[in-house]
Every structure is written in C-alpha cells, then in structure tokens.
Structure 1
C-alpha cells in the first residue's frame, strides 16, 4: 500500500497523474487548489516546450534538410543578414510545439478529467486520441502530397521564364502554414462526432448534404491553402470531402 502511494506521488509530482488522483470523484477541490494545479501543469508544459525547442535548435540543420526535401531543384538564398538564423528559430519553435503538443494535450486532459462523469470520460478519451491521430495524418498528408504538388506546380509554371531562387524564410512560412492548416482541417470528423453525439444533426442528414459539402470543401480548400494553384486545392478539397463522408458514416454507425 505504501509503495503504491509513493509511486502515485512520484507521477503526480511530474505532472503525469491528476493531483486529485486519489479522490477523483469524491472530493471537491478548493479554488486555490485548482489554481495551484493549473500553475504546476502550465509550468510543466512550458519547461517541456522549451526543452524540446532547444533540442530542435541544436539539431536544426537536419530539420532544415527535412523541410527542404520537397523542394527538388530549388536553390535557397538569404536576402537579408540573419534571415537564416531567424528562420531557424522559427523552425525550432514550430517543431518544438508540434513534438510537445501530445504531452501538452495530455496535461490538459489530466486537468479536466477529475471533474467529468464516467460517461463523459468514455467519450472524451477516444475523442482526444482520434483528434491527435487525425492531426498527425493531416501533417503527413500535407508534407508528402500537398507541399510537393504545390511546389511542382509553381516550379513548372515559370520554368521557361524564370530560374527558381527562393527565400528560405518565405519558403518555410509557406510550408509551415500549409502543414498546420491541413492538420487543423483534418479535425472535420471530430466536429461531426460532437454535433452528432449532441443530437444536433444525424449521420443520415450529413450524408444527404454531400452536394453542398462539395461546394463548401472547394471554398475551404481555396481559403486554407496558402497557394493559389489548382492542384493543391483539388487535393485539399478531395481530402475534406472524404473526411466529411467518413465522419458522417461514423455518426451513422454510432447511433445504431
């Protein structure tokens, strides 16, 4: 019993268990205890974020090579003093945030779980896991499909007129924005699950609206993607439509 208590205290001290672990449903915390727990978890998240960001900055050259990989045949230039340095800092922060995001979400989950009912916990855990998997899938889809498609379009479009010399900082801004917005757009099934679970709209009603979804997906693809090329927008619109239909099917099966 003593060993179990000590192990629980160890994980609680390092933010890996709720501070209310032993009384997760019985006791209520005072406001000061809520504030204290929030402060501890927020500090823990900041420390993890800074450590991972610093680690990324130390190995920034290898990370830059990963970002440059889709841009085949492109020569990157530095148009102002310190441009590559500041771009490296932005890349390190971006990667640090992406890598630490699962742990940050886990900390938020631990903070809110003790105040939930058993039914709510059974719903929120798969929802959080599904959201993380969809976001990661969006990042992979964007890096391996959207980014190369957009770059190939821009390179081929002006290849007989201009030679491609790009600013590395502007290139990173373009790639990071496209990757991040794609990850967010892949949360469509999660939103569908929430509105379906709340009974706002049924899965069959979602499926019946597919014609409107095609138009909306096309418009959203034009807004989400920072490029204006049709190839990237078609790929994004197709992905959004598939995600929507998959989410509608999931809601339909959930209600049966």
Structure 2
C-alpha cells in the first residue's frame, strides 16, 4: 500500500512537472520570434543613459543570436510563474488541512503580484537611476560599451532581487497569521530590520551603494506596509490550530472510510463465475 502511494505521488509529480515545463515551452515558442524586440525593450534603460556614440557590444561570436533567446526563455518563465505556482500548490494541496488551503490561494496570488511589481519597479525606477549614474562617472576618453551577455546577467539578478524583496509584506503577514510573532514584537525590532534590509541589499545587488540603497529602502517600506496590514489580522492560536487540525483529520478519515466502503460495495456487486 505504501509503495503504491509513493508511486502515485511520483506520477503526480511527473504530471505537474510536465505541465509546468509544457507551459514554459509554449510561451517560449510564442516569444521566440520576438526575441530581439524583447531584448531591445530590456536594453532600453541602458541605451537611454549611454552617451551619444556609445553602444552595446557582443564579445562572443554567438552572443547576438543566443542572448536574446536566453531572455525570451526567462521572459516566458516569468510570465508562466502564476501557473507554475498553481502546479506546485495542486501537488501539495491533498496533504494540506482545510484552513491551510484557505491561506494558500491568497498567498500565491499576492506573491505573484508583488513579484511582478518588484520587477516593474526595478525596470522603470531603479535601472534609469543606476545606469545614468554609472555612465556619468566614466572617466574622460572611456567609452561605455557594455557586453549584451553581461547586461542580461546583471538585469536578471536585479529582477530576481527586487522581485524577492517585494515579498516582504507577504512574509510579514504570514508570520503574524501563523502566530509565530506579533505586530508589536516586529515593531520593536524595526532598527534591526532596517539594518538587515541594507545587508540584504548588499548581498543581492551589485557592489554599488545606489543599487543597495534602492533595494534596501523599498524593503523597509514594504516591511512597514506588511506590519500595517498584519495589525488587522487575528493570529491563529495553538488551540485553534489543534482544533482545526483535528476536525480536518476527522473529515479526512471519514472521506477515506467512505471511499473504502464504496470500493467494497462495488466488489460485492461484481458477478462471480
């Protein structure tokens, strides 16, 4: 029985992974014809900041061909993210209690929205500022000519960093909802959280003060937003959690019992030779 259950989980995991991979593949095929156009949009913040006569370059023979397709694949993955998260949720949902399922859906929706907002913030706010600063500090006689592959790696790191940083309100609300902390306890730790935001900015961004600061300040403000919303949330006590888990266990046992009873009934109705 346990072996059959393990195999069913493996088959379910394979099915979910195939669906997720298929979604990314379909979106990549749709985006591939527009790979160069997508990369032009990606490079626009830097191109706008470059002095006249400067341009981007490719130091590898295959760079002009492969780099736009790499970004098209990253773009397809980002667009498919809500569906990928849904497949993850669908795989683990059968093992969750009912009260955990009610929390999961809003969590996944808000996480996806905030991740996209972090990417948009990086593209429209952060990139113009840091690229203008970088190009303006170039010594006289130095041409700023960024390699397209290095640029792609740079912006994808910042996209991921800001997308992840924008999840702070979700993490704050989740910690309070689960009863692991309280808004007042988090408020007393505000100085440490601000310092931690700058440490995170130092670790997740390129080694320049502008990128670090432009990540740390939103993290701090988003923490304050999460703290504000968490004050309106009733934390789940341990007794409530145990009671809810017991109820869910009982409901699950009843469902399993009914399934076994129906299976036995169907066996009895099977004609015997």
Give the C-alpha shift of residue 224 in structure 1: 1.4
Which residue of structure 2 aligns with residue 3 of structure 1? none
Corresponding residue number in structure 2 for 1:252 = 231
Aligned residue number for residue 9 of structure 2: 34
Deviations, residues 82-141 of structure 1 (Å, cap 9, x unaligned): 122221232122112111111111111222223322211111111111111111111111
The answer for the alignment partner of 1:43 in structure 2 is 18
Q: Would the aligned equivalents of 2:58 and 2:64 in 1 still touch at CA under 8 Å?
A: yes
Distance 1:127 1:171 in 2: 32
Give the TM-score normalised by the residue count of structure 1: 0.82
Q: Which runs of 5+ in 2 are unaligned?
A: 236-273
Aligned counterparts of 2:113 and 2:230: Cα–Cα separation in 1 = 18
The number of residues matched between the two structures is: 227
Partner SS state of residue 90, structure 1: helix
Larger Rg: 2
C-alpha contact 1:83 1:169 (8 A) present in aligned 2: yes
Judge conservation of contact 1:49–1:97 (CA < 8 Å) in 2. yes
Deviates further, 191-200 or 63-72: 191-200
Structural mapping, 1:170-189, within 5 Å: 170-189=150-169
User: Matched residue of 1:158: which SS?
Assistant: coil
In the TM superposition, structure 1's runs of 4+ consecutive aligned residues that sit over 6 Å from their partners are none
Residue pairs, 1:1-256, within 5 angstroms:
30-71=5-46, 72=48, 73=50, 74-158=54-138, 160-228=140-208, 230-255=209-234
Q: SS at 2:173's partner residue?
A: helix
Question: Matched residue of 2:180: which SS?
Answer: coil
Q: Distance in 2 between matches of 1:154 and 1:211?
A: 30
Give the alignment's TM-score, normalised by structure 2: 0.78
2:118 and 2:39 mapped to 1: Cα distance?
20
String of CA shifts for 1:154-202, please: whole Å, max 9, x gaps.
0011163412111111111111111111101111122222222222211
Unmatched segments (≥5 aa) in structure 1 = 1-28
Aligned equivalents of 1:231, 1:123: Cα separation in 2: 37
C-alpha separation in 2, matches of 1:223 and 1:34:
37
RMSD, matched Cα = 1.8
Counterpart-to-counterpart distance in 2, 1:243 and 1:126: 18
Give deviations 1:48-91, integer Å, cap 9, x for gaps: 11121222222101101111110113511122211222212321
